[in-house]
């Protein structure tokens, strides 16, 4: 895949998704979980689910 397109898709994925702590099952507004302090967060996309990474 064209790397420029991939970079744009990745940006879009970040825009459309929210950081999500899977262990607390909570959305996290900041870069790390306010409950457990973890920064190992998944990306949650409403109606799609959550995945690690942006693919």
Which of 10, 1, 15 has its CA nearest to residue 53?
A: 10
Contact assessment for residue 16 and residue 10, using Cβ atoms and an 8 Å cutoff: no
Closer CB to Zn ion, residue 21 or residue 50? Answer: 21
Q: Residue length, the chain?
A: 55
40 counts as binding Zn ion under rule CB under 5 A: no
Given 20, 21, 43, 44, the residue binding Zn ion (CB under 5 A):
21
Q: Tell whether residue 12 is a contact of Zn ion (CB under 5 A).
A: no
- Site for Zn ion, rule CB under 5 A: 21, 24, 33, 35-36, 38
């Amino acid at each position: 895949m064209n790397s420029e397109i991939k970079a744009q898709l990745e940006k879009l994925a970040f825009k459309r998704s929210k950081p999500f702590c899977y262990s607390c099952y909570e959305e996290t507004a900041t870069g790390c979980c306010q409950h457990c302090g973890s920064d190992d967060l998944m990306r949650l996309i409403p109606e799609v689910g959550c995945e690690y990474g942006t693919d």
